[in-house]
Amino acid sequence: MTPTRINTLEELYEAAQAKRAVVLRWRGGRHLPAAWVINLTGSLLYRELKDGIYLYEKPIRDGRVKKEEKP
């Protein structure tokens, strides 16, 4: 699955309205709420859009069964 890149401020705004999380490179790949990111200063937001802001996708579990806990 390829990550979805956000290219414009409008796309970031739509992600914030949909209460989505985004991934920023300078945060070490951690996800943040898009509503928080949209409130960054203009120079930071410009740099992040240029470097790449991606929508966060929850990791898909592989379906392994949890081990039963020992009493």
What local confidence, expressed as pLDDT, does residue 26 receive? 76
What local confidence, expressed as pLDDT, does residue 2 receive? 75
What local confidence, expressed as pLDDT, does residue 39 receive? 93
Q: Rounded to whole angstroms, how far apart are CA atoms 65 and 58? A: 19
Q: Which two tokens stand for residue 43?
A: 């120079």
Whole-angstrom CA distances from 67 to 59, 60, 63, 70, 71 are 20, 19, 12, 9, 12
pTM of the model: 0.75
- Per-residue pLDDT of the chain (71 residues), as tens digits, is 678 999 999 999 999 999 999 998 877 778 899 999 999 999 999 999 999 899 998 877 776 666 666 66
Backbone torsions φ then ψ of 53, nearest 5 degrees: -115, 130
Domain boundaries, the chain: 5-55
Residue 7 C-alpha from the chain's centroid: 13
What local confidence, expressed as pLDDT, does residue 27 receive? 72
